[in-house]
Chain A
């Protein structure tokens, strides 16, 4: 069980990191800090507005693939991966 519990805590740390980024790009940059960020321009976009309507979605996509990739490695490191058939 200790093999599995170190796998599980590594997983929880990874999820916590990903959800922190998830929170920052949407709730923090897109909503809470939208006004100060709007004073910065990204091309024709106000930055806060860009995070709310474009940027957060791109980051969400990248986060899921990052998570899937890192979990694939964790599965192998802790020898809990599925059989490759």
Chain B
């Protein structure tokens, strides 16, 4: 069977499963639609959260980023996992106890203010929409690369699938499809990693293989990698710091706080039956995430070593261009890999020196996508990687779309503009909002705005500097009032946006940047993507100062805070 047929079969099979789940898990009430009925098992929710969280970027791009950053790539590994510790201890159990459907709803009730709720909706929509554009692009790219269909056709098919299960089933349909998608993506990620680790080190567990010796020698794999990179003039893999330790510290902190503050992740914890389930479910989510996140550094280092040693052979010879392996030919055809024999000797040299380097293009995404071919794995594994990439993008897109549509139908429509609508009308409105959100996301996928690449960092920056502090103070500081919370959110977002726009241009239009995006201009050497943590600190400081100067919140709000701090008397998530 050809690879093409195999890929169609595997991807088609996974899509059939997703649609089957959609038909089975239809939503009958708003509670089904917003929180999957509130009865999801904590382990199942952990799995769904893992799929929700791990996007096309985690699946396709992260290992490639680490492969070229080495130690510096650790900011993503720690940053995108450590946030779950904050979520489990500072937010999830209390928000579950509060027992409502959305994040802005908590902010609106806790700060007894429709204005606070609307500010939270705006932050949520900006953070989620910027994030969803990346997923839409991931779906289109995965289709066009593996199934050789046109980008726009691929994107339309992906939108159609999400449309079926998200509009019919809401959170209920999304939850059970995400569980299936997690299984697909984790198999697709770990199988090639196991074989690559086995090839290089003889150890089938990639996490151990990375710390092992190269098969048949007593040289450690990481020492070998450091050595070959030094020889080619690159920085050493294991000590290559990203800009500075201060920058790495702030970047990691921003990603952690941002992760804990992203609404599409938080709302997953509204679906479990009890407060104690919300705690353990965060642990399970991180177990399922950690399987991929501890495999990724192995994939990164091993793929980099494989790449270098394919071109600069361990024997000291260079790869002869006409005798290059098939996988190189295949990826050259996609344009993601390119060579130029500058000195015309028929051999290819890979070097840190741009003058002599003859591998002129190497797209980071190849590090994951080409793995099965580099390890000579059968076609069904390559087909599975295609299905895995699509599962990662679809599951994250669906979670984000639910966060957006519930903010529109529940927070804006039911909460602010038309409180008198019935349950049935709200359910219809939430389906319409979901359909609308899919169309908008699809439109942005077809016509990605110029600033799309820069905006994922903005999603984390906004979540870190606005949503996380407002939620945390709402739970841990009873005296926090609406004036403090609103001033804090506005100040946090303001500082973060100001810093990002100052260096990257207003709305990411380069020419409007009035301070170049380079380290001498950065505050304490912190890159704009890492500024969310500073925004969060400003938010906390301003909120405390303003709260001290204004009246304490009413007694019933103090009682509400007392109520959410203890698990007893929880009841299921409800709309009133």
Interface centre among A7, A26, A67 (most CB of B within 10 A): A26
With CB as the reference atom, state the residue of chain B lying closest to A27.
B249
With CB as the reference atom, state the residue of chain A lying closest to B80.
A57
With CB as the reference atom, state the residue of chain B lying closest to A18.
B89
A4-35 near B? 1/0 per residue, CB < 8 Å: 10011001000100110010001100111011
Interface status of B254 (Cβ within 8 A of chain A): no
Quick check: B249 and A31 within 8 Å, CB to CB? yes
Instruction: Enumerate A32-85 residues with CB–CB distance to B below 8 Å.
Output: 32, 34-35, 38, 42-46, 49-50, 52-54, 56-58, 60-61, 63-65, 67-68, 71-72, 75, 79-83
Which residues of the partner chain A approach B253 to less than 8 Å between Cβ atoms? Answer: 27
Quick check: A52 and B78 within 8 Å, CB to CB? yes
Quick check: A26 and B90 within 8 Å, CB to CB? no
Interface status of B573 (Cβ within 8 A of chain A): no
- Closest-CB distance, A77 to chain B (whole angstroms): 12
With CB as the reference atom, state the residue of chain B lying closest to A22.
B85
Which residues of the partner chain A approach B440 to less than 8 Å between Cβ atoms? Answer: none
Which residues of the partner chain B approach A27 to less than 8 Å between Cβ atoms? Answer: 249, 252-253
- Closest-CB distance, A44 to chain B (whole angstroms): 3
Quick check: B279 and A4 within 8 Å, CB to CB? no
Q: A45-B211, A75-B567 are in contact. Are A56 and B82 (CB under 8 A)?
A: yes
Which residues of the partner chain B approach A57 to less than 8 Å between Cβ atoms? Answer: 77-78, 81, 290, 293-294
Distance in angstroms between the alpha carbons of A37 and B562 in the assembled complex: 44
Q: Identify whether the interface residues of A are mostly helix, strand, loop, or mixed.
A: helix
Contact of B286 among A32, A43, A46, A60 (CB under 8 A): A60
With CB as the reference atom, state the residue of chain A lying closest to B566.
A80
Quick check: B279 and A64 within 8 Å, CB to CB? yes
Distance in angstroms between the alpha carbons of A18 and B389 in the assembled complex: 34
Interface status of B360 (Cβ within 8 A of chain A): no
Interface status of B276 (Cβ within 8 A of chain A): yes
- Closest-CB distance, B84 to chain A (whole angstroms): 7
- Closest-CB distance, A76 to chain B (whole angstroms): 10
Quick check: A31 and B245 within 8 Å, CB to CB? yes
Contact of A15 among B84, B89, B297 (CB under 8 A): B89
Interface status of B265 (Cβ within 8 A of chain A): no
Distance in angstroms between the alpha carbons of A81 and B274 in the assembled complex: 10
Distance in angstroms between the alpha carbons of A73 and B85 in the assembled complex: 19
Quick check: A30 and B566 within 8 Å, CB to CB? no
Q: A15-B89, A44-B221, A64-B88 are in contact. Are A30 and B276 (CB under 8 A)?
A: no
Which residues of the partner chain B approach A56 to less than 8 Å between Cβ atoms? Answer: 77-78, 81-82
With CB as the reference atom, state the residue of chain B lying closest to A54.
B294
Quick check: A4 and B252 within 8 Å, CB to CB? no
Interface centre among A38, A63, A64 (most CB of B within 10 A): A64
Quick check: B82 and A60 within 8 Å, CB to CB? yes
Interface status of B220 (Cβ within 8 A of chain A): yes
Quick check: A52 and B71 within 8 Å, CB to CB? yes
Distance in angstroms between the alpha carbons of A26 and B85 in the assembled complex: 12
Distance in angstroms between the alpha carbons of A67 and B280 in the assembled complex: 9
- Closest-CB distance, B572 to chain A (whole angstroms): 11
Q: A61-B283, A82-B274 are in contact. Are A38 and B239 (CB under 8 A)?
A: yes
Contact of B211 among A11, A50, A65 (CB under 8 A): A50
Which residues of the partner chain B approach A75 to less than 8 Å between Cβ atoms? Answer: 276, 567-568
- Closest-CB distance, B410 to chain A (whole angstroms): 25
Quick check: A82 and B567 within 8 Å, CB to CB? yes
Distance in angstroms between the alpha carbons of A26 and B83 in the assembled complex: 12
Contact of A82 among B66, B207, B275 (CB under 8 A): B275
- Closest-CB distance, B452 to chain A (whole angstroms): 29
- Closest-CB distance, B43 to chain A (whole angstroms): 12
Which residues of the partner chain A approach B88 to less than 8 Å between Cβ atoms? Answer: 64, 67-68
B219-239 near A? 1/0 per residue, CB < 8 Å: 011110000000000000011
Which residues of the partner chain A approach B207 to less than 8 Å between Cβ atoms? Answer: 54
Interface status of B74 (Cβ within 8 A of chain A): yes
Distance in angstroms between the alpha carbons of A82 and B276 in the assembled complex: 8
Quick check: B211 and A71 within 8 Å, CB to CB? no
Quick check: A26 and B252 within 8 Å, CB to CB? yes
Footprint of B on A, CB under 8 Å? Answer: 1, 4, 7-8, 11, 15, 18-19, 22, 26-27, 30-32, 34-35, 38, 42-46, 49-50, 52-54, 56-58, 60-61, 63-65, 67-68, 71-72, 75, 79-83
Footprint of A on B, CB under 8 Å? Answer: 66, 71, 73-74, 77-78, 81-82, 84-85, 88-90, 93, 207-208, 210-213, 220-223, 238-239, 245, 248-249, 252-253, 274-276, 279-280, 282-283, 286-287, 290, 293-294, 297, 562, 565-570
Can you show 5 pairs from A to B with CB atoms below 8 A apart? Answer: A1-B562, A31-B74, A53-B74, A64-B280, A75-B568
